[in-house]
Structure 1
Amino acid sequence: MPTLEPAPARRLTWLRWGCTTALGLSLWCAGAALAFDLQGHRGARALAPENTLAGFERALAIGVSTLELDVVLSAEGVPVISHDTTPNPDITRDASGRWLQSRGQPFNTLTLAQIAEFDVGRIVPSSRYARDFPQQQAVDGERIPTLASLFELVRKLRADHVRFSIELKRNPERPHESPAPEAFVQAVMAVIQAHGMAGRSTLQSFDWSVLKAAQRLAPEMPLSFLTIQRPRSNNLESGVWSAGAQIARHKDAPAMVAAAGGRLWSPNFNDISQRLLERAREEGLRVIPWTVNETSDMERLIDWGVDGIITDHPDRLRAVMMRRGLALPPAVEPAQASQAPQAVRTATTH
């Protein structure tokens, strides 16, 4: 009997699962069983203000399959879109137009009216953030949107193909800045279900206690287990971030994710190797690494067989996919995007 060569890492995809469970997805979804998941990180962070409606419109105009975003809760318990549990001084101006000089009060202590006063349409020019993203085009007057307003915008633009990867931002080392996991999941799921987006959404978090709560409260929801294993940041080591689990008690990160009931693993792209991707396949996991901005890294990861990539540069990833002959998600033309009323773009009270 001839010796068989080992098969390359097999690419799985959310579309094969999502298209059979979600109602109302586009024909593109139904016909692209092997589509690669192009995720725009915080919209299109390298090109437009992060986690804003303007940024999400930019990502849609480029053409993404998934909008990646972050949510926290306001004092009223309303999900609003922010990467940080407190206002970020690198991107936040107050009602008088002055840059915040330090981290503000936690969002869960601020009302929607107070949150609506912040302008997050521009980076502080002297900041490292500005140096990291010199191509980002400011949109002065852009406000922190609610999760509901994003869903409404996507419906108005008829971007029926796009999915949402929603990160629930909770720091278990600063629990006073966030709601309890159960309350957090309930608040986010209420908005998702009210807008009919359960079949198009995935919940993700570095705090696995949030994912454990989601497994109990919304067992039908796809979940993404976020990981980072850097020398100065490791959410798998102590058990504080990973709901008590510790990497030392498992063979590797894929085994740890699988033991937690995960089906989708989203590691820092620096932490993954081809062998570790193969291990993820052995554990039955799909793999979508974050945040990949250089073309050479995108090429390598696609060669290895990842299921998608989260990137600040959806334009670069789309170009790579085009050269590779991968199926491209539809783009929402800028002319369509411009039809969205300004009231929707800045709303924070939906």
Structure 2
Amino acid sequence: MTALVRCISVLAGALLVGCVAPPASSAGSFDLQAHRGGRGLAPENTLAAFRNAMQLGVTTLELDIGLTADNVVVISHDTALNPDHTRDARGAWLPAVGPTIRSMTLAQVQAHDVGRLHPDSSYGKPFSSQKPSDGERIPTLAALFALASESGNTQVRFNIETKIDPTRPDETAAPEPMVRALLAEIDKAGMARRVTIQSFDWRTLALVGQLGPDLPRAYLTSPRTLRDSRWTLGLDATSFGSTPLLVQAASAGGKAPVIWSPAFNDLTPAQVRQAQALKMTVLPWTVNQRVDMLRLLDMGVDGIITDFPDVLGDVLRERGVAAMDHRVLPVTTAR
């Protein structure tokens, strides 16, 4: 996810003095993010999905991470094995939610196949066009960084969400060990200039501000998390005039760019304008229908997170909006 500040004068088109330039992009471009690697097209959070998204020419790979029992950073949205897309070593579908990622070693985690959706699962119905990739394992973050490097892609960014729930502290690693392990992997791969850290649990982002102050931070919000101050660093959302003002307070003191990532259905044009006036990038999630993509483009958002990066690429091309990677994405059928 880029940390794009509105640095271009609408009238003159010249860069304003003192603007913060986003990493690995040119000012004025749009951030096309493939949610979980683009789970509408390939199995979520797998190397197959990330490879496909890079071939499409997306700006950013959006992904989630957890920490195993042996402290390896792995890519998984779920804090426990999900029976909707997980088979055991014998190829049998898990009958129920499996063990937590935190309770298993990397070897135990990777004994499972996450390469296709369970055919009887309601979870997979919106993604009926997803192409299976049998044999995919829950990858390490290091493997994704290696994949990007080996592909020769020097521009794609990584928007990494820490999957941590302050209301269920026993399900995952605590914020500090998770953040330290994540920052160590980023540093080892030399990917700091291409990474944003995002989270609904803003304790994570406060730690990133202290331990990795140059990394952009994305403050995820939803109606549920805004109602519970355990998610918002102890701040009471009702005490602020708006969510952008809440994010501004939570991110105060940091020197890296700040992103606000709201649930797209709750976003208004006034909020977009306010957040951008506060020097935030606005990047809503998870937008899968063309009509919603068009509506958000009309609002002037800085980017969109989607399960269908092919559809969004088509919409951007129709609108004449420049994505950060200028490769042409394929035309798709309407959704």
Q: Is residue 21–residue 27 contact of structure 2 (8 Å, CA) maintained in 1?
A: no
Which of 283, 286, 303 matches 2:281?
A: 286
Superposed, 1:304-315 pairs within 5 Å as 304-315=299-310
Retained in 2: the 8 A contact 1:236–1:245? no
Paired residues for 1:87-102 under 5 Å = 87-102=81-96
Give the whole-Å Cα distance in 2 for the aligned partners of 1:190 and 1:97.
34
TM-superposition CA deviations, 1:190-226 (whole Å, max 9, x none): 0001001000000000011111111111111110000
CA distance in 2, matches of 1:62, 1:49: 15
Q: For the residues of structure 2 that align with 1:150 and 1:332, how far apart are their CA atoms? A: 23
| Deviations 1:90-147 (CA, angstroms, capped at 9, x unpaired) | 0000111111111111111100110110100011111112211110111111111000
**Residue of structure 2 in register with 1:236 after alignment:** 226
Does the residue aligned with 2:220 lie in a helix, a strand or coil?
strand
Dislocated runs of 4+, deviation >2 Å: 10-13, 16-19, 281-284, 330-333
Aligned partners of 1:243, 1:309: CA distance in 2, in Å?
25
- Whether the aligned pair in 2 keeps the contact of 1:42 and 1:51 (CA below 8 Å) is yes
Mapped contact 1:39–1:68 kept (Cα < 8 A)? yes
Q: CA deviation at 1:236?
A: 1.3
CA distance in 2, matches of 1:213, 1:11: 23
Return the alpha-carbon distance in structure 1 between the equivalents of residues 60 and 193 of structure 2.
13
Local SS of the residue matching 2:230: coil
Structure 2 residue aligned with 1:268: 263
User: Residues 6 and 279 of structure 2 are in contact (CA less than 8 Å); yes or no, is this contact kept in structure 1?
Assistant: no
Q: Which amino acid in the other structure matches residue 260 of structure 1?
A: A
* 2:226 aligned counterpart, secondary structure: coil
1:65 maps to which residue? 59
Aligned twin of 2:248: 258
**Alignment of 1:246 onto 2:240:** no
**Larger deviation: 78-87 or 101-110?**
101-110
> What is the TM-score of this pair, normalised by structure 2?
0.89
* Alpha-carbon offset, residue 11 of structure 1: 7.5
User: What is the 5 A alignment of 1:46-65?
Assistant: 46-65=40-59
Corresponding letter in the other structure for 2:319: R
Map 1:124-203 onto structure 2 (within 5 A).
124-203=118-197
Cα deviation per residue 1:276-332 (whole Å; 9 max; x = unaligned)? 112212332210000001111111111111000000000011011111112231459
Which structure 2 segments of 5+ residues have no match? 8-18, 253-257, 330-335
The residue that corresponds to 2:75 in the other structure is 81
Could you say what secondary structure the match of 2:64 adopts?
Answer: strand
- Retained in 1: the 8 A contact 2:5–2:280? no
**Aligned residue in 2 for 1:336:** none
- Any stretches of 5+ residues in structure 1 without a counterpart? 1-9, 334-350
After superposing the two structures, state which structure 1 stretch, 51-60 or 259-268, moved more. Answer: 259-268
Structure 1 counterpart SS, 2:138: coil
SS in 2 for 1:61: helix
CA–CA separation in structure 2 for the residues paired with 1:167 and 1:46: 19
Q: Which residue of 1 aligns with 2:108?
A: 114
Task: Evaluate the alpha carbon distance shift between residue 169 and residue 290 of structure 1 in structure 2; reply closer, same or farther with a 3 A threshold.
Answer: same
Q: Which deviates further from its counterpart, 188-197 or 126-135? A: 126-135
In the aligned structure 2, how far is the partner of 1:198 from the partner of 1:110?
A: 28
Q: Distance in 2 between matches of 1:241 and 1:83?
A: 17
TM-score by length of 1: 0.85
Query: Contact conserved, 1:120 with 1:141, CA < 8 A, in 2?
Result: yes
Q: CA deviation at 1:18?
A: 5.1
Return the alpha-carbon distance in structure 2 between the equivalents of residues 45 and 131 of structure 1: 12
